[in-house]
Structure 1
């Protein structure tokens, strides 16, 4: 089936499209490689995967390094047997930046360091009807990771100005990326990702988010609106206490409606008239379930959230390397069958 970015955009605007689109924030390179039969090496490979898998877009990020001096990383990095970097937990205690002096001495990248060459090249590679999503994020996440979560939490009450200053540095850099996306003729949709919650609640209080984080989300939302481009926001977790804030920031669609945190039927009932809903196929189900389980979940999601538009089929976070390949294929197959009627 040919891609049609206009149908994806229509869905993000909560209109009933000709079909229910697919959506993902990320698919692990191993899954992509298995799908197209070779490793993802070039931008052509990347476009081929998203096209063949049935998506209406290719999602791109600028190349960026927010720790060019590699401060504090040496003791944290471990490697797998094949030489790849192992997964690691973010530090929760003391971080790299704990005071204004350390903030002043930290080497941030310059805006001119960001590499947008993929955006410059992709237009010539896109199949007819296929669009581009410009994606970046983590103003909040990078701030608490640089400070360490415990220190960050204490600073919310004892030195909020330090958090303001740090998030100001990061936010200005990330905002410059979205300014590029907004002005780019090749980018159709803006996608900001930054986890502010987990399955049991928010990571910090609503009031703290309103002071430190939502002003940045709103600034990006206003930019998207000024350039008439839809705006997706990704955050895991339970969001009931801040849905109104998210909507007020100009977000058009929320991803991924984490299944362990919120039920999509309730989200649809409470905010579906103001937000398009994306995702909600449990990653655990994709990893440990069967194709039949996945099929049932996709059809249930469509029934509960896609009956009048404003819903895209996708995972409840992203598709990791440990997801069963046959389960991922089943999710794609159900979307294809629904599209064909």
Structure 2
């Protein structure tokens, strides 16, 4: 089925309306969109083929970065978003692995070593080159904020959450051992990471045009949390509570992107941490409709279209699933449409666009 509404030639974004939807202050008559990440591999054909612009890969010079960011903003604007989202994180050096992946622009994909940690002793903790939150350049984020089209807002966070960085620094395997063998070291690493991220937050919360924080921190897998709910409550959630309080002090919603089955800590996230919305859904774990039925009066449910379907399903299947989600969630509000996780490099651009185009069709677009 050809696209009926995209690209939007003269979009009229309304970030204020989007935020009222997230907060549950009103139910929009249209279907607002949300996305966590859109990989450059997917953005490139949208920029060149759909928008008719020249793709520029960011290099070491300011000119190429400005051209890249101009395209980045244009994609979000002309696909119907009220927001532009980008994140930058502190550099936490850690052991990693790489492998060939033809779906990636560079032909390789990297991931964290889950067996051998960078910090597993107190000596390594003391010698670790902890990053300086004030030394990280926010120029790309500042450029986006300074060049937001009228009606659009900016969404960001620290790249990677407290749990993700702790488990990466220790390795998942060593974290499991250290929670028993040396819990004080786990707490020391967690608190150092949390303190650095909180200091970084002081900088991003001062960005002009910031409308919402959508903080990623994957704490679950297919059937449960990656470490015990008790450990998450003791070590990780207090830092999310602090970040949420800092964000709320600026009058901005704090939403969480967390993969996996985390239903055991959802009451904590809502009542204690104070999240305003939850992103990341997988149909095999809990479809967004079920989460919205359970928690939709207390938090916004964001995204929802399973990435496996976006990757392997037909465009008709994607459109059918979008209709199901929108019909179930949109009438009650506190909902925005998007992928269940992110638009990864292996998601066909056609499926991504079909998802948004169907959403616009159900907005009367």
2:30 to 1, 19, 42: 19
What is the alpha-carbon distance in structure 2 between the residues aligned to residue 296 and residue 112 of structure 1? 47
- Residues 92-129 of structure 1 show CA distances to partners (whole Å, capped at 9, x for unaligned) of 22211101110111111111221111233223321110
Is the 1:77–1:85 contact (alpha carbons within 8 Å) kept by the matching residues of 2? no
Is the 2:241–2:273 contact (alpha carbons within 8 Å) kept by the matching residues of 1? yes
2:261 to 238, 254, 261: 238
Could you say which residue in structure 1 is the equivalent of 2:143? 121
- Residues 241-286 of structure 1 show CA distances to partners (whole Å, capped at 9, x for unaligned) of 1111111211001002222211223212211111100111011111
Could you say which residue in structure 2 is the equivalent of 1:275? 299
- Residues 188-218 of structure 1 show CA distances to partners (whole Å, capped at 9, x for unaligned) of 1111101000111110111000011000000
Which structure 1 residue ranges, 5 or more long, are not aligned?
none
Is the 1:195–1:235 contact (alpha carbons within 8 Å) kept by the matching residues of 2? yes
Label 1:63 to 1:207 Cα distance change in 2 as closer, same or farther (>3 A): closer
Is the 1:20–1:309 contact (alpha carbons within 8 Å) kept by the matching residues of 2? no
Could you say which residue in structure 2 is the equivalent of 1:32? 43
What is the alpha-carbon distance in structure 2 between the residues aligned to residue 63 and residue 139 of structure 1? 11
Could you say which residue in structure 1 is the equivalent of 2:204? 181
Could you say which residue in structure 2 is the equivalent of 1:210? 233
Is the 2:31–2:360 contact (alpha carbons within 8 Å) kept by the matching residues of 1? no
Q: How many residues were matched structurally?
A: 336
Q: Provide TM-score, normalisation by structure 2.
A: 0.87
Could you say which residue in structure 2 is the equivalent of 1:169? 192
Could you say which residue in structure 1 is the equivalent of 2:323? 299
Label 1:80 to 1:209 Cα distance change in 2 as closer, same or farther (>3 A): closer
Shift of 1:31: 0.9
Label 1:11 to 1:160 Cα distance change in 2 as closer, same or farther (>3 A): same
What is the alpha-carbon distance in structure 2 between the residues aligned to residue 83 and residue 3 of structure 1? 30
- Residues 280-330 of structure 1 show CA distances to partners (whole Å, capped at 9, x for unaligned) of 101111111111101111111112222121111111110112112211111
Shift of 1:80: 5.8
Is the 1:62–1:177 contact (alpha carbons within 8 Å) kept by the matching residues of 2? no
Is the 2:41–2:105 contact (alpha carbons within 8 Å) kept by the matching residues of 1? no
* Residue 328 (structure 2) pairs with residue 318 (structure 1): no
Label 1:39 to 1:258 Cα distance change in 2 as closer, same or farther (>3 A): farther
Shift of 1:90: 2.5
Equivalent positions of 1:50-69 (< 5 A) are 50-62=76-88, 64-67=90-93
Could you say which residue in structure 2 is the equivalent of 1:286? 310
2:129 to 88, 107, 124: 107
What is the alpha-carbon distance in structure 1 between the residues aligned to residue 95 and residue 213 of structure 2? 32
Is the 2:223–2:285 contact (alpha carbons within 8 Å) kept by the matching residues of 1? yes
* Residue 15 (structure 2) pairs with residue 5 (structure 1): yes
Q: Provide TM-score, normalisation by structure 1.
A: 0.93
What is the alpha-carbon distance in structure 1 between the residues aligned to residue 105 and residue 152 of structure 2? 35
1:193 to 199, 208, 216: 216
What is the alpha-carbon distance in structure 1 between the residues aligned to residue 336 and residue 100 of structure 2? 36
* Residue 129 (structure 2) pairs with residue 92 (structure 1): no
Shift of 1:60: 2.2
Alpha-carbon RMSD:
1.9
